[in-house]
Amino acid sequence: MAVTLPFRSLEPFGIEIDFDLSQPLAPSLAYHFRQLWAEHGLVLARGQSLTMARQRELCALLGPILVREGEGETMTNAGGGPSTSPLAWHSDAAYTDHPFDAIALHALDVVDDASSTRFVRAEVALPADLRAALEGREQEMISPHYTQLAGRTCDQREPEAMKRGVRPVVLENPHNGRPCLWVSELQTARVLGMPWKESRDLLHAAFDRLYVPERVFEHKWRTGDVIFWDNIALQHARGNLESVRKRVLQRVIVGIEGAAPHVATKVSV
């Protein structure tokens, strides 16, 4: 009989496992860990104490570890500025040809329940007319300027961008084969091949389906929590961190490319 990790389902999606992840995983448990991540998109474990090396070992079960030049291993709100500003819905590096496969955050030192990260599944059922309007289309996606991280980028005719790229509106998730709606509040500037207002209205209709409250899983951080999530299957967002006090999270990225191959030049309609 195969040995599996004990877990319970979360609402509206994701699972929580009950296991000390600082301990080695037998091959059957390692296989089950990856299965759970690919199927459910989000794996939460509480009360953990993981070194960076151990967190990377666990993430290596999901794919190659990506270390980006110039970035530290922790995320903190101590410096203020962009590190504390709200972040609208997005998937990391979604505007590139190689968005990250997975992300893992581990709460090293936080004020319990004072801050949260919200998640939503990009796998969403759309009404026939909206699906027909989106399928087969491409979008201009951007990495917005750090002063423009909280709103819907599509509401600006000419949003300031650090990087730009062209990506499909619907993307197949390579981890499970499911189609994902790849538009996001933070990164989608416009749907190509239509006037700006028409594109904006179409995107608002998609966002109204994608981000309804009953589809959102919000995790309030406590020291020792660790979450591994599929960056293709899920989008994430967070609120303002200015008044949260201490918040130190250890981050590991699973992926193959650390910087967008695109330059910030205007994309033709």
Residue 45 half-sphere exposure toward CB, CA atoms < 13 A = 21
Give 255-264 pLDDT, tens digit per residue. Answer: 997 654 434 4
Considering only CA atoms, which of 214, 219, 187, 217 is closest in space to residue 203? Answer: 187
Give 80-128 pLDDT, tens digit per residue. Answer: 556 678 999 999 999 999 999 999 999 999 999 999 999 999 999 999 9
Residue 178's contacts (CB-CB under 8 Å, 6 or more residues apart) are 123, 172, 233
Distance of CA 64 to the CA centre of its chain: 17
* Model confidence band, residue 134 (pLDDT cutoffs 50, 70, 90): very high
Q: How deeply is 20 buried, as exposed, middle or buried, from its count of CB atoms within 10 A (0-12, 13-18, 19+)? A: exposed
Is the model's pLDDT at 70 over the cut of 70? no
Residue ranges of domains in the chain: 8-254
Considering only CA atoms, which of 125, 143, 115, 150 is closest in space to residue 206? Answer: 125
Residue 63 structure tokens: 């794919």
pTM of the model: 0.93
Q: Provide the 10 A C-beta neighbour count for residue 160.
A: 13
State mean pLDDT over 58-70.
89
CATH number of 8-254: 3.60.130.10
SS3 assignment, position 226: strand
